[in-house]
Amino acid sequence: MRGFGDLEAEIMDRLWSWGRAATAREIVDDLLLRRPLAYTTVADILHTKGWLRREKVGRAWVYEPTCTREAYTAQLMHQALETTSDRAGALLHFVDRMSGDEASALLAALEQVKERDTP
């Protein structure tokens, strides 16, 4: 899996932040507030790549993400971990750079997984 391009990331960021489906027009209008943009539907590209699902509402397509921001981030992290044969070493370097709050969140997540997997 490859990360998003700049424009794709901006679109996904908006949809995740809004927490709701949006039309391509809404997305483009919001993007135009911050950057010049030709009316090309990058949302269609993200739909084709499987990052967005869409539904026809009236005459407009309404788009929403197929995964959460957290799930996308986890996929990127998993992909990065797959690039090394020394996963333990990579995890050690990763954890070494965590803040105390991040380490606490990781411990809580590990405990949830442990509880889920315990019969």
Q: Which CATH topology does 6-65 take?
A: Arc Repressor Mutant, subunit A (1.10.10)
Helices (H) and strands (E) in the chain, counts: 6, 3
State both tokens at 23.
């039309």
Confidence (pLDDT) at 45? 81
The confidence score (pLDDT) of residue 1 equals 58
Q: Is 43 helix (H, G, I), strand (E, B) or coil?
A: helix
Condensed to tens digits (0 to 9), the pLDDT of residues 3-19 reads 788 888 888 999 999 99
pLDDT at position 9, please?
87
Residues of the chain with pLDDT under 70: 1-2, 37-41
First to last CA, the chain: 33
Per-residue pLDDT tens over the stretch 39-50: 446 778 888 999
Are 63 and 43 contacting, i.e. CB atoms less than 8 angstroms apart? Answer: yes
